[in-house]
Structure 1
Amino acid sequence: MSGRKPAGSSFEDWVERQVREATERGEFDHLPGAGAPLPGLDRAFSADRWAADKARREGFDVTGMLPPALALRREREVLLRDVHQLVSERAVRDVVTDFNDRVREQYRRPADGPLVVIALLDVEALVAEWHRRRPPAPAPATTQAPPVRGVRRWWRRIRGSHPQ
């Protein structure tokens, strides 16, 4: 590619010539996706969809882009899947209670779009599931003190007396 556009040509002509010359040199041959249709041409353009697709390609979590009701629904799925990773029964109860409070609050607000049904979680059922899926705790190591055999006390060492 030449560095600068010549003064006498239009920008469009200059770009077209560069593309044509690169094609003649074969620089576009064997590129990944060559000959395949471009994805998404059958859908109307949406800035939101483009941003979500870009975030997915870059490996970002797109749940922050979801409407609140859908984000809660996604959070429920993740919570049900990963409840066993919480560290204590108290943590399970706190997380589930917080989730249920936010679902109730979502139902109290006017709907921004279509109604998304989000079921409340049963705290006791999830605590039981947490107990069931937890790995068993390692058995405590039993350490026994060595047997005491003829131990001389410090005062006996000083006096020179031995136990009998």
Structure 2
Amino acid sequence: MTEAWDAAVEAQIRGAVQRGEFDNLAGMGKPIPGRGMPYDESWWIKSFLEREKLPSHLLLPTPLQLRRHIEQVPDEVRDLPTEQAVRAFVAQLNARIVAWLRNPDGPRVAIRPVNADEVVHRWRAERTRPEASTTTEPGAAVAPARRARRSWWLRWGRRR
């Protein structure tokens, strides 16, 4: 039975070659991708991520993904318009962290919920920083430094 099957398949291939169905295929004349490279067991995962343009951090276990999100919190909240939006973002992240802490899986990694007040404080500091640096007067940035020096000198002089 297998001989008959092989013969039928070979006959179809020969017929397709004679009709020219294998001429001008995509990739003709190009080297085979990955040829000469050592074998990689996860080649199909890497090719899937590359083909679908997915970030590779999706392959990380849950605690490492959460740690990565915690590290990226300042960058992600920077463009949020209100303090409520920042607190909502942190609350959503903390909910995911608490859910993982209740039922941990994957490697044991120390993860704590994010302090919303600290994130809001940093967010406010970053929001006020650009306003202070975009002054139009050339001497405006120097004046606070002079005041700080002068107040230090006055305090030092009073202690003597």
Task: State TM-score, norm by structure 1.
Answer: 0.50
* Structure 2 stretches lacking a partner, 5+ long: 1-5, 132-160
Q: Does 1:59 align with 2:53?
A: yes
Partner of 2:89: 95
Calculate the aligned-residue CA RMSD, in Å. Answer: 4.2
SS at match of 1:121: coil
Mapped contact 2:83–2:120 kept (Cα < 8 A): yes
| TM-superposition CA deviations, 1:27-75 (whole Å, max 9, x none) | 622x3xx265349862225xxx735641442224576665433432333
Quick one: which amino acid aligns to residue 126 of structure 2?
Answer: R
More relative contact order, 1 or 2 (CA 8 Å, 6+ apart): 2
CA contact (8 A) 2:61 2:107 kept: no
Structure of higher CA gyration radius: 1
1:44 is aligned to 41
Question: 1:69, 1:118 within 8 Å by CA — same for their partners in 2?
Answer: yes
Q: State the TM-score, normalized to the length of structure 2.
A: 0.51
Aligned pair count? Answer: 122
Deviation for aligned residue 1:26 = 8.1
* CA distance 1:56–1:75, change in 2 (3 Å): farther
Identity over aligned pairs, percent: 26
Higher helix share: 2
Q: Distance in 1 between matches of 2:66 and 2:47?
A: 21
Offset of 1:78 from its aligned partner?
3.4
Q: Map 1:59-78 to 2 at 5 A.
A: 59-60=53-54, 67-78=61-72
Using the TM superposition, give the Cα deviation of residue 84 of structure 1 relative to its aligned residue in structure 2, in angstroms. 0.9
CA distance in 2, matches of 1:26, 1:96: 55
Aligned partners of 2:78 and 2:123 also within 8 Å: yes
Counterpart in the other structure of 2:116: 123
Distance 1:133 1:112, change over 3 A: same
**2:76 match:** 82
Work out the CA distance in 2 between the residues paired with 1:124 and 1:16: 73
CA–CA separation in structure 1 for the residues paired with 2:96 and 2:106: 18
